[in-house]
Structure 1
Amino acid sequence: MIDPIDRALLQLLQEDGRMTVSELSKRLSLSRPSISERLLRLQENGIITGFGARVSPAAIGRNIQVIIQMSELKVFPTEFEKRIMNDDEIMECHRVTGTVSYILKASVTGMDALSELVERLMPFGNVNTSVILSSPVMNRSILPKA
């Protein structure tokens, strides 16, 4: 069960995943061993699934972000998913319900790269792309309901 301290711990880590156990200990007024035990338990229970850095696509030359909807698949989902796993321009892939089978998020260097990506996807089904103009909500912290 997640208590208020675990909620606060999750909030702090989502704000700054590099926060040290010492800093977490100070911010939450708990001992370092207590923080370490809580972190381990949250990981073992699958609540914390990993730690990583957020990279700005634009800062590394991937200036265009797109949402791609795939519908009317011409192949089995497993074959499509296997293909997506090997494409480094695809940042996310979600199998969804409704008339669309998959929603993908991709990051490309320019319009030529987007055109090439769409051409690679066309054999798998209908491709509908939307260029992301802005993202008013990104990487929002997720916490269990109190």
Structure 2
Amino acid sequence: MDLIDQKIIALIQEDARITVSELSKLLALSRPSTAERLVRLQERGIIEAFTARISLPAIGREIMLIIQVSTLKVPIQEFEAMVQQEQAIIECHRVTGEVSYFLKAAVSDMNGMTMLIDRLIPFGNINTSTVLTSPVPYRVISP
């Protein structure tokens, strides 16, 4: 991966809707060359998808939670199947250490938080933290 590829990665992380024409102008490359590089980055698995970042409060999910799950009471597969179906959970990470999983969830209100926690309790020990602010909500990643 050269510097041009790194610039492409940074630019599309900032705006996934950028056109190939705009991208080629910013890179001082031809459109076909820019398009070819984008395709290669996708084929190599460096670009996994083009997505949109959604404002959670704008869609009614005012409360973001970080949930730690430890001492699972069910098989791993059962827990992971449940979290994959749970719409309030927006990220799930299996980790090393005393905690088995870190979950990121977004709910509309305290009642939604209570109901989510109640659904999780049968699966393990639950420790929930409410996010107050996010000084780094998203960061452009470079190689």
Instruction: Give the structure-1-normalised TM-score.
Output: 0.97
The letter for the 2-side match of 1:80 is: F
Residue 39 (structure 1) aligned with residue 41 (structure 2): no
Give the distance between the partners of 2:21 and 2:85, measured in 1 at CA.
39
Task: For 2:65, give the aligned amino acid.
Answer: V
- Structure 1 residue 96 displacement after superposition: 0.3
The CA deviation at 1:82 is: 0.4
Question: Separation in 2 of the partners of 1:57 and 1:138?
Answer: 12
DSSP-derived class of the 1:100 partner = coil
Task: For residues 71-121 of structure 1, give each alpha carbon's deviation from its aligned partner in whole angstroms, at most 9, with x where no partner exists.
Answer: 000111111010001111000000000000000000001000100000000
1:26-65 matched pairs, under 5 angstroms: 26-65=25-64
Aligned length: 143
**Is the partner of 1:10 in helix, strand or coil?**
helix
Deviation (angstroms), 1:35: 0.7
Identity between Structure 1 and Structure 2 (%): 58
Letter in 2 for 1:43: Q
The match for 2:10 is 11
Q: How does 1:35-114 map to 2 (within 5 A)?
A: 35-114=34-113
Amino acid in the other structure paired with 1:108: V
* Structure 1: segments with no counterpart, 5+ residues: none
CA shift, 1:20, in A, is 0.3
Shift of 1:12: 0.6
CA distance in 1, matches of 2:108, 2:83: 18
Structure 1: 4+ residue segments shifted above 4 A: none
